[in-house]
């Protein structure tokens, strides 16, 4: 009975992998088990919950500034099939962070502006986060998590009679996290850096500011985990990749200025 169930589950896994394979905007192979509509709905619900539970900045000048930079980036982003509009919210928090969710939701924490010191540096962050959405990274991560959980279930069935089952499952759990999920997260981050660099360049921002941004990030991230066990590339790795990417960007004649002005600090 157990062997039959395991065979059925393995067949389902194989079918899922065959039918859910896709390629990211940079050509990287992906596994996407969920539809765009499902991910958009999930992102929109999550964003609404965040707006209810986290303080939103009441500083109109800061909000207008962040929206200006974001809207400049969005002008070069193609229309999305799963949602019609993007929404930008500035959260009042000291976190040095920003995010973009499926469904066109962009959140920026005011603490980021202490590190992203110029419109160009902020554009590097916004472009990067939008790159996650364009590459369906949330779908990919959720799909891999689901597949990993199913794999652990199958392994648990096969080890259920072993006296070392608990130890083996604990080891496999660590192996799944480090061996499958984290490396793909680092690949996603690097991919979003490439896409973000292209977006900010096309939108009229200075792509070299992305290097300045990550130098600022490096100064602000003392005590960060080592790259091997981190979901992000190290700042040095990131900077080297960005410097290489900048040299490969095409020339854009008659570049238009974005006109976004950082508000003065009160």
pLDDT digits (tens, 9 = 90+) for 135-188: 998 888 888 777 766 654 544 555 455 555 554 445 444 454 444 445 557 888
Q: What is the DSSP string of 50-119?
A: HHHHSPBP--HHHHHHHHHHHHHHHTTSPPPSS-S--EEEEE--S---EEEETTTEEEEEGGGGGTS-SH
Residue (of 26, 35, 57) closest to 131 by Cα position: 26
Which is nearest to 124 in space by CA: 216, 55, 53, 46? 216
Selecting among 129, 136, 140, 189, the annotated active-site residue is 129
pLDDT score of 37 more than 80? yes
What is the arithmetic mean of pLDDT over 84-98?
Answer: 95
Is 49 among the catalytic positions?
no
Residue-wise pLDDT for 221-256, tens only, equals 776 666 555 667 888 899 999 999 999 999 886 666
Contact call for residues 107 and 53 (beta carbons, < 8 A): no
Residues 116/205, Cβ–Cβ less than 8 Å: no
Reported as a single tens digit per residue, the pLDDT across 193-204 is: 999 999 999 999
Please calculate the CA angle 198-259-98 and round it to the nearest 5 degrees. Answer: 55
| pLDDT tens string 95-134 | 999 999 999 999 999 999 999 999 999 999 999 999 999 9
**pTM of the predicted model, to two decimals?**
0.80
CA distance 136 to 25: 9
Which residue from 88, 25, 102 is spatially nearest to 57, judged by alpha carbons? Answer: 88
- Two tokens at 211? 């290097």
* Average pLDDT, integer, range 209-218: 93
Higher per-residue pLDDT: 12 or 22: 22
């Amino acid at each position: 009975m157990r062997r039959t169930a395991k065979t059925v589950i393995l067949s389902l896994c194989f079918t899922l992998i065959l039918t859910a394979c896709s390629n990211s905007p940079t050509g990287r192979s992906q596994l996407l088990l969920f539809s765009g509509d499902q991910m958009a709905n999930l992102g929109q619900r999550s964003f609404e919950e965040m707006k209810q539970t986290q303080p939103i900045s009441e500083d109109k000048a800061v909000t207008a500034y962040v929206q200006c930079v974001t809207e400049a980036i969005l002008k070069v982003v193609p229309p999305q099939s799963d949602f019609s509009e993007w929404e930008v919210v500035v959260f009042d928090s000291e976190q040095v962070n920003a995010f973009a969710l499926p469904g066109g939701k962009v959140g920026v924490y005011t603490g980021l502006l202490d590190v992203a010191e110029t419109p160009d540096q902020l554009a590097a962050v916004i472009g990067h986060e939008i790159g996650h959405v364009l590459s369906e990274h949330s779908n990919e991560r959720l799909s891999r998590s689901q597949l990993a959980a199913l794999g652990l279930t199958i392994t648990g069935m096969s080890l259920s009679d072993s006296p070392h089952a608990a130890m083996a499952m604990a080891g496999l759990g660590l192996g799944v996290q480090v061996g499958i999920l984290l490396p793909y997260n680092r690949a996603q981050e690097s991919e979003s850096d490439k896409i973000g660099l292209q977006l900010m360049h096309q939108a009229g921002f200075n792509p070299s500011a992305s290097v300045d941004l990550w130098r600022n990030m490096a100064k602000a991230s003392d005590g960060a985990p080592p790259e091997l066990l981190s979901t992000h590339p190290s700042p040095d790795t990131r900077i080297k990749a960005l410097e290489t990417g900048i040299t490969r960007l095409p020339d854009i004649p008659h570049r238009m200025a974005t006109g976004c002005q950082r508000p003065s600090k009160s």
